Structure 1
Amino acid sequence: MPSYLSPGVYVEEIDSGTRPIEAVGTSTAGFVGTAPNPDAFIDEAVAINNWSEFRRRYVRDGDKGTDLANAVYGFFLNGGSRCYVVNTKADGAIAGKGRGLDALAAIDEIAIIAAPGRTDPASHGALLDAAESLKDRVAILDAPPRVDDVEVLTRAADGSAAPSPTPAVEGDAAPAAPRGRGPKPGLRPRDSDGGYGACYFPWLRGRDAVDPDSLAQIPPSGHMAGIYARTDSERGVHKAPANVTIRGVEGLTQMLSRAEQDVLNPVGVNCIRFFTREGVRVWGARTLAPSASNWRYLNVRRLFNMIEESIAISTRWVVFEPNAGPLWKDIQRDVGAFLTLLWRQGALAGARPEDAFFVKCDAETNPPEVVDAGQVVVVIGIAPVKPAEFVIFRIGQTAVGSTVETA
């Protein structure tokens, strides 16, 4: 206690003990590809904050546009504010010791990764491997610019088909492949059980970012990363980045019908559609997780990424603290306050906080053997909001007129 020597009013500042958990950023992107100047900052992750900065660092007079340049331009045009760029050799591997995706792995700030224009299985696999191993980012994958039959986008390169959204009748056998023939190879990326990747089809048509006088086929990953950032800023990471107009686009490399999207949506290939009144819009919000997975929606995966990393970073003060009841209560309080704030922002489902989440950290989750091992265990349950992917209107007629019900 302080010592007071004369009468009066004294004010003391005390530490309340609370340590608010701050949400980490979710909109910083990392791009790997070949810049217009192929010799600039090779295999070095360079922070870029606007298109002018990219031009200054990676474009010389007379350089031609590249998929990377168009993607970075689309990122900033559609709402992105900061990204990292790694310039790699043309047609080279996007991952390797100290280069490509490995150069982005050390940057915690990054929440989105892409290799614009890379549609080969090796690149898709490297992007998904990077996101799955780090668990703090999602990969945006580009499908080919166009296909003659959308069925090829339902099968991976090894010929394996994406799981059907409806289970087969018990006892039904899969049709046998013709003798002497294996499964046909496809163009869909492999599954990501945790939903750490999203694939978009087709490509965009627009003005080349480096040479605006010419038209270019543009991979959608850069524009989509910008839309992720725009949606996060305007609505929050819990809002699906879909039903949004893509800026800076004059058309698509392939027009899709509803029947074709009926084939692609269930297997996790997000379609980009042209609508007469609305223009070019993102019309899908699925991940590459199996259709029955809890991780099939992109906004759910990204919300959990944000929550997990925010809690991990903001609770580092716990390390080396006395592992007993007071610490457990502090953890419960801080995590509970953070999740309550997310619930109030509409990120979690439920009419009340107790319906939206729970946090348990007590003697039950931390028995003596756990404490003796130097561990503190917190059990957290979260109910995320999911997108209204299918809106159904039931229209019927009665004797006095028609009725409309929304399901």
Structure 2
Amino acid sequence: MLFLKLSWESFRFAISALKTNLTRTVLSLSGVTVGIFAIIAVFTLVDSLEANIRSSFSFLGTNVMRVDRFPYANGPQDYPWWKYFRRPPGTVAEYEFLQQRLTSAEAVTISASSNTTVKAGSNAYQGMSLTGAVYSYQDVYEISLEEGRYFTLSEINASRNFAIVGKEIANTLFPQQEVIGNQIKIKGMKFTVIGVFEEEGEGLFDTPSKDQACLIPYGAFNKMYYTGKNGMEPTIAVKGMVEDIGLVALENEMTGLLRAKRGLRPRDENNFALNKTEFIQNAIGSVFDVISVAGWVIGGFSILVGGFGIANIMFVSVRERTNIIGIQKSLGAKNYFILFQFLFESICLSLIGGITGIIIVFFLTFIQLGSLEITLSFNNIMLGLGVSTIIGVVSGIVPATLAARMDPVEAIRTN
């Protein structure tokens, strides 16, 4: 009860300080408001942008390693693409070899893709991303269906002409119609639609989206396209174990198995590249880390100015209430009571500025920025409140200490 009474009394003094000289207080708190706004606005924009970009690259999968000819590159460097170009592509035989022998993987899949045109009646959709996949494709990549179902194992093995299409393709080919069970035509072959992907919406970058994709059995894809060397290159992808941090165990095992399958001697260089999808995500994260630091620097200067403003208010407040401090101490008020009173007032003033900055950021999230959806997260709100509290403590600790150490007799005599 004593703590609540002390807090309420300190809060009343803080409000009184605001009302006494409103112009001075507003100008002083504007620094904290601008600083918190700058930091939280940058962090909110960075988090939203990073989430959107990561979502745009979700087609690569999570915790997935791919067998490619070309390795992912980071930054300017000597990239001998002519050497990588001569490497052989992955094959179905290698996929089956890895599927049978890998022990540090959850699933192994192989797929091949091409852009083509799909038709249904008098309607057509150009630029569709057509992918032929095996049954384990759903175990490596996330397959979310809005309606319908995935292929059965027997349908994959029999290379049945079934298809799963994206939402945009379904709306274009079958406007105001039932999609499941209807037929589409791809390169002269008829396919029955058995499923529709969940709508992903427009991404920030022009990355592949399931809205413009179509999935068919791998064998049906081979009926229309030649896969392998000098044809459509298939991609072998392996999903690693959750406990395999960095996919180190999976990479070592896959390297040994692929070298054995391709007949490489101990001194021969690898003629394949094992690419981790986390490479792109880590590269994205490092870029946004730099932007976050810039946000701290920009907001830090404003907060520094705001902190000095609050300290100035507190020094003035201590001066104006010196007589009151003397009376309180003569009536038995302890030093910690006076200290807490002014410190609480400083924190309240700083929080008012910080909350104002957060509210401004919140209203800015309603601004439409194309496909970029801005969201003010709970973590960023708590960050703003935490920084405001720290600024209040730092700005008020010296004035509060001076007030707590005052001699009651001298304080009462002060005019």
TM-score, structure 2 length as denominator?
0.24
Greater CA radius of gyration, 1 or 2?
2
TM-score, structure 1 length as denominator?
0.24
